[in-house]
Amino acid sequence: MKQKSLGLLGITVAFILALMFVPRAEADTILYGSTGNLNSNGGGRLYSIDVTTQSVTLIGNTGFDRLGGIAFNGSGVLYGASGGSTPGSTLLTIDPNTGMATVVGLISDRNIGVDGLRFDSQNNLYGTAYNGNISTGVLVTIDPLNANVLTSVTLMGSGNSFAAGIAFSSAGTLYGSRGNASGRLEDFDLINPTTGQMTAIGPMDTVISDIVFAANGVLYGSSPGGTLYSINPATGMKTALFDTGIPNIAGLATIVPEPSSFVLMALGSVLLLILLVRRARNSSAR
């Protein structure tokens, strides 16, 4: 019995190692893009962007104006904020397959226009907004269940300190894109979510409406003219990838793909390995 268990154990180990080295195609990087402007002028649309094949597909019309910020939560639900930086925003959920939007609620602080959205690793929803009362940018957290503003921090950076987009790295570092913020001296910033301090990274040379980290760790940014960029988060250097053809891109989002069949097979093999090791130990103890 002991020799049989050890033999099965060896086969399982060999199977796992073989799986680790099987060549497999990498999945395409899929981003989602939303458009600003009035709905009658093409705003409020949702697109899919295949970065790998450089192809773009119109998903649908949400029916709302100025869809500036979009973001997936940890469960794959897509949220959006309509209204752009104009005070008085609406929080939505959006079907990523059809573009159909459902109102969650009016964002409770009616003095702010939320133009950037992003969930952190703890599923907290952050937004960047322009506060019309104090004429500067703010960083807020929003309850995704009812659109209530939970916290608000005044941003401190060049110009009016407004950030049109935000993105969290895998390490939890928060970055911001300045869009076409008035008086800005840079396009890209590091943001301290506690103090609101913005630290410029790189110069001002391109309008970047929104930014997002893909599952592969690459930081992408979009310009209102439709160009998609990759951005070096350490230097702010931008590399133009291709013209998406999407007019007035205002928001970017992506979702981490579900585990592939390879991963599921490997996990199953590990569980089998554990079971066989326990059986081998029990046989040795007899």
Give 45-80 pLDDT, tens digit per residue. Answer: 999 999 999 999 999 999 999 999 999 999 999 999
pLDDT at position 149 over 80: yes
Range of 195's domain? 30-253
pLDDT at position 186 over 80: yes
Confirm whether 80 is domain-assigned.
Answer: yes
pLDDT at position 25 over 90: no
pLDDT at position 261 over 60: no
Across the range 35-45, mean pLDDT stands at: 96
Q: Say whether pTM exceeds 0.85.
A: no
Question: How much of the chain, in percent, has pLDDT values that exceed 90?
Answer: 79
Q: Where are the strands (E) in the chain, listed by range?
A: 30-35, 45-50, 55-61, 67-72, 78-82, 90-94, 101-106, 112-119, 125-131, 136-142, 149-154, 165-168, 174-177, 188-191, 198-200, 210-213, 219-222, 227-231, 238-243, 249-253
Q: Are 204 and 186 in contact (CB under 8 A)?
A: yes
pLDDT at position 227 over 80: yes
Confirm whether 280 is domain-assigned.
Answer: no
Confirm whether 13 is domain-assigned.
Answer: no
When pLDDT is cut at 50, 70 and 90, the band that residue 13 belongs to is very low
Confirm whether 24 is domain-assigned.
Answer: no
Query: Who's near 234: CB < 8 A, 6+ residues apart?
Result: 201
Would you state the pLDDT for residue 28? 84
When pLDDT is cut at 50, 70 and 90, the band that residue 16 belongs to is very low
pLDDT at position 193 over 90: yes
Which domain CATH number covers 244? 2.120.10.30
Confirm whether 228 is domain-assigned.
Answer: yes
Mean pLDDT value across the chain: 87
pLDDT at position 10 over 70: no
Give per-residue pLDDT as tens, 84-103. Answer: 999 999 999 999 999 999 99
Would you state the pLDDT for residue 93? 98
- Please give the DSSP secondary-structure letter assigned to residue 115: E
Confirm whether 15 is domain-assigned.
Answer: no
* Rounded-to-integer distance, Cα 205 and Cα 106, Å: 35
Confirm whether 2 is domain-assigned.
Answer: no
Please tell me the total count of domains within the chain. Answer: 1
Structure tokens given for 9: 């154990």
Confirm whether 173 is domain-assigned.
Answer: yes
Across the range 106-129, mean pLDDT stands at: 97
